[in-house]
Amino acid sequence: MPPDRRADRQAALRSGLAAEGLDALLVTHLPNVRYLTGFTGSAALLVIHAEATVLVTDFRYAVQAPAEAGQAAAVEVDQKSVWDRLGRVLGDLGVTGALGVEGHALTVRDAERVGTLTRARVVPTAEQVERLRAIKSPEEVSAIRAAADLAQDALAEVLPTVRAGQSEREIAAALEGALRRGGSEWHPFPTIVASGPRSALPHARTSARTVGRGEWLLIDFGAQVDGYCADLTRTVVVGARADDRQRAMYELVRNAQQRALEHLRPGMTGREGDALAREVIAARGFGDAFGHSLGHGLGLEVHEAPRLAPTAEGVLPAHAVVTVEPGVYFPGWGGVRLEDDVHLGPDGPERLSDGRTELVELA
């Protein structure tokens, strides 16, 4: 059995709360609730206090919540109003000073509601739990690696069946079916299958468009294992050999990604990490075609801390897991993106996905 790290996570969080003068923190962002308690339901108000951890949920989870949380939290189930029960919990705990709330996750309406439930001063906080989540345990890294393996196996099953004349939705359906058959708990985000000129849309919505011969096919997809996400992108040519322009742009993106994969290190800023790939593309005169950041953290959410971006001055911590996904996009012609998942170990980057980025030309 893997070690249970929930008590250590809560202790680290409590230490941070004390340093900020907070009596308690109300956690409402569901991935954070899962990280701290193991509870996977869709309704949760979690109070982290110096003396107790209390999870408030509703009747739907009366059996599930105690089973998943175990000793990590006392569970309160309310059949009428979880908010009224939260008020009683805060009163029982004697929270009268400063109560932190997750400012990035709690709506203004619900923050106002919290204010009516307690005599404490409600204080918005900035990603207290997310900072802890950025540093992955060995078990978390293993889960992301397993998700990447599953995703790669699904793509390997589907790619040989792809032909010109298929629609993007047909290809996405085949891939998503393979992911579920392979054991993916769900899709971490809507699968992107974009062909021809639509591959120039970095976050295209998969459409009914038919893939033409000799066109780009960009596939951005993921898998989920034990709640942890993988996020991969591959770009292939369908039904013909790549032409000179396609080959040149593909090799440019591949070289940029390779440089980042080889030199990315913990201790760099996110801006410095981003520059590893961006400089390669800009040196060829295509800097304007690479309009998004190089990557993002990966874990219980597909987008989390840390960031690899021109504006990211935060330091990349050891044992973070990030995506490395340079791309170039030309409206009316198409785009190329390659994405792999990387663990920033103390001795350098460790690929969790296969890094198989040679140009594929589907017959």
**96 and 153 belong to one structural domain:** no
343: domain CATH number is: 3.90.230.10
% helix / strand / coil in the chain, to the nearest 5? 40, 25, 35
Give per-residue pLDDT as tens, 211-265: 999 999 999 999 999 999 999 999 999 999 999 999 999 999 999 999 999 999 9
**71 and 161 belong to one structural domain:** no
Residue 19 neighbours by CB distance under 10 Å: 8
Distance CA 252, CA 277 (A): 10
Distance CA 221, CA 215 (A): 19
Instruction: Please name which of 219, 217, 156, 220 lies closest in space to residue 182, comparing C-alpha atoms.
Output: 156
Give per-residue pLDDT as tens, 288-339: 999 999 999 999 999 999 999 999 999 999 999 999 999 999 999 999 999 9
Q: Is residue 118 part of a domain?
A: yes
**94 and 200 belong to one structural domain:** no
CA distance readout (Å), 110 to 128, 215, 219: 19, 48, 38
Q: Which residue has the tokens 């973070």?
A: 320
Q: Is residue 252 part of a domain?
A: yes
Q: Residue 188, preceding bond cis, omega within 30 degrees? A: no
Q: Which of 109, 133, 157 is the last residue of a domain?
A: 133
Distance CA 339, CA 256 (A): 11
**304 and 249 belong to one structural domain:** yes
Q: Is residue 111 part of a domain?
A: yes
Instruction: Please name which of 170, 249, 256 lies closest in space to residue 206, comparing C-alpha atoms.
Output: 170
pTM of the model: 0.96
**262 and 214 belong to one structural domain:** yes
Residue 108 neighbours by CB distance under 10 Å: 8
Q: Which of 107, 133, 159 is the last residue of a domain?
A: 133
Instruction: Please name which of 237, 227, 220 lies closest in space to residue 155, comparing C-alpha atoms.
Output: 220
**157 and 53 belong to one structural domain:** no
Q: Is residue 336 part of a domain?
A: yes
**318 and 179 belong to one structural domain:** yes
**182 and 268 belong to one structural domain:** yes
Q: Is residue 1 part of a domain?
A: no
One-letter amino acid at 241 equals R
**88 and 149 belong to one structural domain:** no
Average pLDDT of span 346-353: 92
Tokens of 54: 């209390």
What residues have CB less than 8 Å from 79, skipping those under 6 apart? Answer: 58, 59
Q: How many structural domains is the chain composed of?
A: 2
Q: Which residue has the tokens 């292939």?
A: 236
Instruction: List the domain range (segments joined by +) for residue 152.
Output: 138-362
**329 and 195 belong to one structural domain:** yes
pLDDT at 52 (0 to 100): 96
Average pLDDT of span 342-351: 93
Query: Sorting pLDDT into bands at 50, 70 and 90, what band is 2?
Result: confident
Average pLDDT of span 107-128: 93
**Residue 205 DSSP class:** P
Q: Which of 88, 115, 133 is the last residue of a domain?
A: 133
Instruction: Please name which of 249, 207, 247, 233 lies closest in space to residue 338, comparing C-alpha atoms.
Output: 233
Query: Sorting pLDDT into bands at 50, 70 and 90, what band is 107?
Result: very high
19: domain CATH number is: 3.40.350.10
**344 and 256 belong to one structural domain:** yes
**127 and 174 belong to one structural domain:** no
Q: Is residue 265 part of a domain?
A: yes
Give per-residue pLDDT as tens, 159-195: 999 999 999 999 999 999 999 999 999 999 999 999 9
